[in-house]
A and B are shown apart, each in its own frame.
Chain A
Amino acid sequence: MNALKSLLTPDRQAARVVPPTGFTAQLTLFTSAAMAFLAVFALALSLASGRLADRWSSALAGTATIRISAPAEQMDTQVAAVLALLGTTPGVASARALDQAEQRALLEPWFGPDLPVDALPLPRLIELTEGNPGYDGEGLRQRLLAEAPGAVLDDHTRWRRPLAVAASRLRLLGLVSIILIAGATGAMITLAANAALSANLPVIKVLRLVGAKDSYIVRAFVRRFTLRALSGAAIGTVLAMIGVAILPRADDAGGFLTGLGFQGFGWLLPLLLPPLAGVVAFAATRIAAFRTLKGLT
């Protein structure tokens, strides 16, 4: 905490005793900017596939329907047979036949309110709710075929299951990418800090000889690299967010690619990246600096 505070209080003296390291400075700035840029896209990908996974999973949790088309006199027996069969099918949470009022409500948008439902040879609908774990769709089809030849299982949402799994994997991969980017940033800043430290070894030796404490010397380097990583990451984040913001929008029906963006509070998440880069640089430089100093008296 103290180390963090001393980072924020400007200490021009401490900053001046170490000569400017032009090239390493620009390298650190560029690396942090590039890494933050990538991290924003990984984050966007992760959030978008997360939304997709949620949407598709909730669709899966919905219902399937069984449509029974049979001659009028067999209708009730077949409906009863299907309901009985569903009652003993593992993975089916509940099943019920829709009554005539409900069926009429379903058809109303197409045929208007005056449809004489009783007079039409309409199929009967059974709505079933899937349990967890779900039922075996192919097995259920076979049994329906045997018990009620007029029954057809319509489980149109099931094909989405592998997609939902893929989407949540994609979310995971996005998060793993962010962690890897943070690690790579740490590694690169460690390399840059080590280069700066060894280039300045004579300076560090002189500072030690005139009575500088380790913390004083470490501060001069840590301050530099943390501020550079912070500002580099801020630049990269802003550029990437602009890039995401100008992606073409589409409505919900739009494909996955047009859904790649931030929504609502999601826009605040990338703003965490510059501080994260700062923390990574702070830790990496601090460790590198103390390790260098350990070899000096």
Chain B
Amino acid sequence: MIAFENVAYNYGGGELLSEVNLRLAPGSFHFLTGPSGSGKSTFLKLSYAELQPTAGRVTIFDREVRSLTRDDVAMTRRRVGVVHQDCQFLDHLPLAANVTLPLTVAGRNSDPRDLSDLLGWVGLGHLGDAKPPSLSGGERQRAALARAIIMGPDVILADEPTGNVDWEMSLRLLTLLVELNKMGKTILVATHDLNLIRQAKSQVAARVLRIKNRRIQLAGADL
């Protein structure tokens, strides 16, 4: 689905990531860990074409990112659900409209029942009419997850989706991701939460990637 070949990236300063070689196979479940500032979010941005690698090749759905036109990038993003770390919303629209925004910009209608099911699952059923600025950090994260999956994407990339929620809600969100994975979706979750990873490993064959010395390695069973 998404493949990195000898990828390097820097924001203009020193190299942040280098010699990244990895493939996210269809239907796989990965966690991405690493210290704060090690480049987890950067890696995700490379994976949905917000950034282009400074060296090497990133391939999304068998197409090299550099060869994509702007419209191709838009079409690619409709197939990749992203939970951004900073949960970006349109503050003037109610939460429900924000969650269905990917459908709106794709010119598709949203089924109200699907929407209320989804909002109910992430525990936001009662907040559909609230404006994003009035929501708590955890509520925003859950809304971001709902927005990421409403299009039924093939790939879900989540950047700290449980950073601001309690353990119970974390498990709930994890279960949602595991269910989606069982439906065949490819999933990558960047997180600091080792407990969450352990919990997931009991439910699904998840692999753990770790950023260390600018490289991304597969972590062993030790964690």
CB distance from B11 to the nearest CB of A (A): 14
Q: Is A256 interfacial (CB 8 A cutoff)?
A: no
Q: Chain B CB within 10 Å — which of A13, A211, A212 has the most?
A: A211
A16 in contact with B93 given A210-B77, A297-B50 (CB within 8 Å): yes
Contact (Cβ within 8 A) A206 B71: no
Q: Is A214 interfacial (CB 8 A cutoff)?
A: yes
Contact (Cβ within 8 A) A211 B77: yes
Type the 1/0 row for A188-218, where 1 means its CB is closer than 8 Å to any CB of B. 0000000000000011011111111111100
The interface residues of chain A, by DSSP majority, are classed as: helix
A213 in contact with B50 given A17-B90, A17-B93, A19-B92 (CB within 8 Å): no
Contact (Cβ within 8 A) B50 A206: no
Stretch in B28-36, B98-106, B135-143, B190-198 touching the partner: B98-106
Contact (Cβ within 8 A) A211 B78: yes
What's the Cα separation between A202 and B92 when bound, in Å?
12
What's the Cα separation between A205 and B104 when bound, in Å?
15
Contact (Cβ within 8 A) A211 B75: yes
**Residues A283-297 near B (CB distance < 8 A):** 293, 297
What's the Cα separation between A206 and B101 when bound, in Å?
9
What's the Cα separation between A203 and B93 when bound, in Å?
11
What's the Cα separation between A228 and B106 when bound, in Å?
26
Contact (Cβ within 8 A) A209 B104: no
A17 in contact with B74 given A206-B89, A211-B106, A297-B49 (CB within 8 Å): no
By a CB distance below 8 angstroms, the chain B residues around A209 are 50, 77, 82, 84, 88
By a CB distance below 8 angstroms, the chain A residues around B70 are 213-214, 293
A208 in contact with B74 given A17-B101, A17-B105, A297-B51 (CB within 8 Å): yes
What's the Cα separation between A207 and B102 when bound, in Å?
8
**Residues B40-70 near A (CB distance < 8 A):** 49-52, 70
What's the Cα separation between A17 and B98 when bound, in Å?
9
By a CB distance below 8 angstroms, the chain B residues around A208 are 74, 77
By a CB distance below 8 angstroms, the chain B residues around A207 are 90, 101, 105
Interface residues on B, range: 20 to 34
By a CB distance below 8 angstroms, the chain A residues around B88 are 202, 205-206, 209
By a CB distance below 8 angstroms, the chain A residues around B51 are 297
What's the Cα separation between A215 and B77 when bound, in Å?
16
Which of A13, A19, A212 contacts B74 (CB under 8 A)? A212
CB distance from A123 to the nearest CB of B (A): 86
Contact (Cβ within 8 A) B93 A210: no
CB distance from B185 to the nearest CB of A (A): 17
Contact (Cβ within 8 A) A297 B73: yes
Contact (Cβ within 8 A) B49 A13: no
Q: Chain B CB within 10 Å — which of A13, A19, A210, A297 has the most?
A: A210
What's the Cα separation between A214 and B1 when bound, in Å?
25
Contact (Cβ within 8 A) A211 B74: yes
Closest to B70 in A: A214
Q: Is B147 interfacial (CB 8 A cutoff)?
A: yes
Type the 1/0 row for A232-260, where 1 means its CB is closer than 8 Å to any CB of B. 00000000000000000000000000000
CB distance from A17 to the nearest CB of B (A): 7
By a CB distance below 8 angstroms, the chain B residues around A293 are 70
Contact (Cβ within 8 A) A214 B77: no
Closest to B78 in A: A211
Type the 1/0 row for A1-33, where 1 means its CB is closer than 8 Å to any CB of B. 000000000000100110100000000000000
Contact (Cβ within 8 A) B71 A213: yes
What's the Cα separation between A25 and B139 when bound, in Å?
34
**Residues A152-207 near B (CB distance < 8 A):** 202-203, 205-207
By a CB distance below 8 angstroms, the chain A residues around B89 are 206
By a CB distance below 8 angstroms, the chain B residues around A202 are 88
Q: Chain A CB within 10 Å — which of B75, B102, B105, B106 has the most?
A: B105
Closest to B49 in A: A297
By a CB distance below 8 angstroms, the chain A residues around B50 are 209, 297
Contact (Cβ within 8 A) B84 A13: no
What's the Cα separation between A210 and B150 when bound, in Å?
11
Closest to B151 in A: A211
Where the two chains meet, the residues of B that have a C-beta atom closer than 8 Å to any C-beta of A are: 49-52, 70-71, 73-75, 77-78, 82, 84, 88-90, 92-93, 97, 101-102, 104-106, 147, 151
Contacts A/B (CB < 8 Å), 18 sampled: A17-B105, A19-B92, A202-B88, A205-B88, A206-B88, A207-B105, A210-B101, A211-B77, A211-B102, A211-B151, A213-B71, A213-B74, A213-B75, A213-B105, A214-B70, A215-B71, A297-B52, A297-B73
Sorted from nearest, which 5 A-B pairs have the closest CB atoms?
A212-B105, A211-B78, A211-B77, A19-B92, A210-B102
Since A211-B74, A211-B106 are in contact, a sample of 4 more A-B pairs with Cβ atoms closer than 8 Å, ordered by chain A residue number, is A17-B101, A207-B90, A208-B74, A210-B105
Where the two chains meet, the residues of A that have a C-beta atom closer than 8 Å to any C-beta of B are: 13, 16-17, 19, 202-203, 205-216, 293, 297
